[in-house]
Amino acid sequence: MSQLTTSGSGLGLGHSRHLPTWAPYGVLVLAAAFSAAVLALAGFNLAGFLVLTAITFMIVLVVASRAVEGPRKATDRFVTSLVVGSFLLALVPLISVAWTVISRGAARLDVEFFTFSMRGIVGEGGGAAHALAGTLIITAITTLISVPIGILTAVYLVEYGRGSLARAITFLVDVMTGIPSIVAGLFALALFVLILGPSARLGIMGSVALCVLMIPVVVRSTEEILRLVPHELREASYALGVPKWRTVVKVVLRTSVAGIATGVTLAIARVIGETAPLLVTVGFTAAINYNPFDGRMATLPTFSWFSYAAPSLPVEASIDRAWTAALVLVILVMAFNLLARVVSRAFSPKTR
């Protein structure tokens, strides 16, 4: 490298000067010190400090870089700091939510929370075993119904669908993606009320409502993934005398398992926290109910909502339970994500 700079000077390569690698960090410290000093005069506040630091940092770094390294490098540094800045900005709400949920939910993250329902509990103690069971059962049924329908629809759209039917389905899927969740809930309610009468409240109704929300997400993500499978792989399979349906199952789906698993996880995460459609279809109860075809069930989101909106005395105990339910929900989603990672790691194409 050094040889290149000395011997290459004739080519104009030797004149490039660089800021030292520690320059951005140095500038950052300077900018922080500067804004702290300015704000100390005007009255300190954290948000103002961060914004001022970021702006000062950018201006100083870009000006210094322009002077030393030239305009191309300066633009590079400007865009780099913009990108990193946006990333940090996007992290703020995430970290804030995670922190709030963990710090407030940790209080009741105990064995009792997972082993007790709220049946006959007045005051402190009690748990959300009934809500956890309800969420798991309803989400499992939703997934069992939505994933096959969603994947088969996507396979139809990508591999077989031509003409107006395919266009109509695509359109309907688009429309379904935009349905507000309460509408899905009311749809399921109306459907079952027609069949079972006005007081029907069942776990399965909640699953049907969530299916309306989940199917379009599965279709969309699977479709995207299937379209990524190179056409050459399908042709390679056809050229070996493999019929189309086997090609779809054993080459196209097999190649995209990893992506589909990720899409399904995202779809589960999308529905597992739904509250409104469950409130109108599944209702709420304080006791454990394992039967989705018989009576009301509690779920984590509705549990959390009820504990917060209609707390029993003492209020703090109720509110603690609400936060812990939220925390358990977050942990569940994380666990699904990890599971999907493991699945995609195991099935994704490898080169080594």
Partner 1 sequence: MSKRIDVSDLNIYYGDFLAVEGVSMAIEPRSVTAFIGPSGCGKSTFLRSLNRMHEVIPGARVEGKVVMDGQDLYGSDVDPVDVRRTVGMVFQRPNPFPTMSIAENVLAGARLNSKRMRKSEADDLVESSLQGANLWNEVKDRLDRPGAGLSGGQQQRLCIARAIAVKPDVLLMDEPCSALDPISTLAIEDLIQKLKSDYTIVIVTHNMQQASRVSDATAFFNIAGTGKPGKLIEMADTATIFSNPTQKATEDYVSGRFG
Residues that bind partner 1 (CB under 8 A): 162, 230, 232-243, 246-247, 250-251, 254-255, 347, 349-352
Closest distance of CB 343 from partner 1, Å: 14
Min dist CB 240 to partner 1, Å, is: 4
In the complex, least distance from residue 233 CB atom to partner 1, rounded to whole angstroms: 6
- Of the pair 148, 243, the CB lying nearest partner 1 is at 243
> Which residue, 43 or 241, is less far from partner 1 as judged by CB?
241
Output 130 or 234, the one with its CB closest to partner 1: 234
Q: Which is nearer to partner 1, 50 or 242 (CB)?
A: 242
186 and 280 Cβ atoms separated by less than 8 Å: yes
Q: How far is CA 21 from the centre of its chain?
A: 36
Cis, bond preceding 314 (omega within 30 deg of 0): yes
Judge contact between 45 and 56, C-beta under 8 A. no
For 23, 112, 270, 271, 294, the CA distances from 267, given in Å and listed in that order, are 44, 30, 5, 7, 26
| Residue 302 Cβ vs partner 1, minimum distance, rounded to whole Å | 42
Task: Provide, rounded to whole angstroms, the least separation between the CB of residue 247 and partner 1.
Answer: 7
Residue nearer to partner 1 on the CB measure, 137 or 248: 248
Rounded-to-integer distance, Cα 296 and Cα 287, Å: 9
CB of 169 to partner 1, least distance (A): 17
**Choice between 127 and 259, CB closer to partner 1:** 259
User: DSSP alpha helices (H): ranges in the chain?
Assistant: 2-7, 23-42, 46-69, 71-105, 111-115, 129-155, 163-177, 181-196, 203-228, 231-239, 244-246, 254-272, 276-281, 300-309, 315-347
Contact 57, 27 (CB under 8 A): yes
